[in-house]
């Protein structure tokens, strides 16, 4: 009898956590480990940061051992309009979380402008405009009142829920040097109300600061092939959450190996030891294919199953009289 009461108590806790997650707890955007294989999601300034056209698709399955789903699919395309010193892009994302299929779907249009200071130094301001839809499958929610006849918890009625749609925006700035880049992006400028009930919840602004540098090593016999080592870092702040990603890529065509550490390692009070990620990428002509796995190193290490992520990118390069120098960031 005691065991049944204990199991019921734990079940109530899980249900409460799930309910709050579905209604107001999802205050952060989905994230990608391979955020440079999904550059338009990272910042609008990356739109058109190539010499021709580019199409990419990303899929992430996070914490597969946990109940429910945490899956994200992103599709994007962009092009360089060299005559206008501009880049254009379009992005579509679908993110599904939890057993009740809490879903966020959006489509965005992106624009960037290239301000050239020299052949290898330029600045790219960017702008993104997005249309979002959020929804929840009420029929899949379970409340404690359905499990315990003596519960004082009042069930939430279907009419208390509603899907929501809204517009949002982002701005960014990217400085590209010969072998380095630095950027900043601010998302959710309009602070939309994303609550699915009468509760008023303004989505928090997200600030991302990122950058890195690439080191080259010429081959002794074949100077066309070069080994590269790229060091990158990214800082994100959204609501009450802060996160730092520090990574290292080693590339020797056509293979790319990468490792990332996700935490706030220099601030002890905020250290969470979130994840350690490894990446394997393959570049074949104009196609990039990548796979990464996040090892959970927090106290949830035995419960999540990590995170799997797959990316694919295809570039259509165009021969021009004045060839555009791509941004020197990694492909993954």
228-286 residue pLDDT tens: 899 999 999 988 888 899 999 999 888 999 999 987 655 545 555 678 999 999 998 88
- Tell me how far the alpha carbon of residue 259 is from its chain's centroid: 17
pLDDT score recorded for residue 5: 44
Which one has a higher pLDDT value, 290 or 153?
290
Flag whether pLDDT at 46 surpasses 50: yes
Say if residue 143's pLDDT is above 50. Answer: yes
The tokens describing 234, both together, are 């990214």
**Residue 120: is its pLDDT beyond 60?**
yes
- pLDDT of 29 reads 86
Residue 198 has pLDDT above 90, yes or no: no
Per-residue pLDDT band at 6 (split at 50, 70, 90): very low
Question: Domains of the chain by range and CATH?
Answer: 2-316 (2.40.160.40)
| Residue 14: band (very low, low, confident or very high) from pLDDT cuts 50, 70, 90 | very low
Residue 208 above 80 pLDDT?
yes
Read off the pLDDT of each residue in 124-145 and give the average, rounded to a whole number. Answer: 82
Q: How far apart are CA 223 and CA 64, in angstroms?
A: 44
CA angle centred on 74, ends 68 and 77, rounded to 5°:
175
Q: Exposed (0-12), middle (13-18) or buried (19+): which is 128, by Cβ within 10 Å?
A: buried
79/323: higher pLDDT: 79
Q: Is the pLDDT of residue 178 over 80?
A: yes
Between 305 and 31, the more confident residue is 31
pLDDT of residue 17 exceeding 70, the answer is no
Preceding omega of 254 cis (within 30 degrees of 0): yes
pLDDT digits (tens, 9 = 90+) for 56-97: 999 999 877 777 778 999 999 999 998 899 999 999 999 988
Looking at the chain, the whole-number percentage of residues with pLDDT higher than 90 is 46
Query: What's the whole-number mean pLDDT along residues 36-50?
Result: 94
User: What is the pLDDT, as a whole number, of residue 61?
Assistant: 92
- Taking alpha carbons only, the member of 323, 208, 324, 279 closest to residue 37 is 279
What integer pLDDT is reported at residue 218 of this predicted model? 58
Q: Provide the pLDDT for residue 51.
A: 84
Q: For the ranges 101-105, 127-131, 166-170, which has the lowest average pLDDT?
A: 101-105
The residue ranking higher by pLDDT, 169 or 196, is 169
- In 3D, which of 129, 127, 236, 108 has the Cα closest to residue 173? 127
Q: What is the pLDDT of residue 15?
A: 40
Note whether 298 and 270 are within 8 A (CB): no
Average pLDDT value for the chain? 81
pLDDT score recorded for residue 11: 41
- The tokens for 195 are 């609550």
Cβ atoms 279, 310 nearer than 8 A: no
- pLDDT bin (cut points 50, 70, 90) of residue 161 is confident
């Amino acid at each position: 009898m005691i065991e049944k009461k204990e199991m019921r108590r734990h079940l109530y806790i899980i249900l409460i956590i799930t309910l709050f997650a579905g209604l107001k707890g999802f205050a952060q955007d989905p994230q990608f480990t391979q955020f440079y294989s999904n550059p338009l999601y990272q910042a609008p300034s990356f739109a058109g940061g190539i010499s021709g056209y580019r199409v990419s698709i990303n899929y992430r399955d996070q914490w597969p051992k946990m109940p429910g789903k945490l899956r994200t699919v992103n599709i994007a395309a962009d092009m360089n309009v060299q005559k206008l010193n501009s880049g254009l892009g379009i992005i579509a994302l679908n993110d599904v979380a939890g057993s009740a299929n809490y879903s966020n779907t959006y489509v965005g249009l992106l624009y960037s402008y290239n301000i050239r200071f020299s052949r290898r130094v330029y600045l790219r301001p960017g702008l993104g405009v997005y249309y979002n839809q959020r929804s929840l499958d009420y029929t899949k929610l379970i409340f404690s009142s359905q499990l315990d006849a003596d519960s004082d918890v009042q069930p939430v009625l279907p009419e208390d829920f509603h899907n929501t749609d809204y517009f949002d925006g982002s701005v960014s700035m990217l400085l590209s040097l010969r072998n380095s880049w630095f950027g900043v992006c601010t998302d959710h400028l309009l602070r939309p109300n994303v609550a699915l009930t009468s509760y008023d919840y303004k989505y928090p602004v997200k600030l991302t600061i990122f950058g890195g540098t690439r080191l080259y090593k010429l081959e002794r016999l074949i100077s066309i092939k070069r080994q590269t080592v790229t060091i990158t870092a990214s800082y994100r702040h959204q609501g009450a959450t802060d996160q730092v990603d520090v990574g290292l890529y080693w590339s020797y065509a056509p293979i790319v190996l990468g490792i990332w550490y996700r935490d706030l390692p220099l601030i002890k009070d905020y250290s969470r030891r979130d994840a350690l990620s490894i990446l394997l990428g393959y570049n074949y002509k104009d196609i990039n294919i990548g796979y990464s796995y996040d090892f959970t190193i927090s106290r949830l290490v035995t419960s999540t199953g990590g995170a799997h992520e797959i990316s694919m990118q295809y570039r259509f390069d165009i021969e021009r009289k004045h060839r555009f120098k791509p941004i020197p960031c990694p492909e993954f």
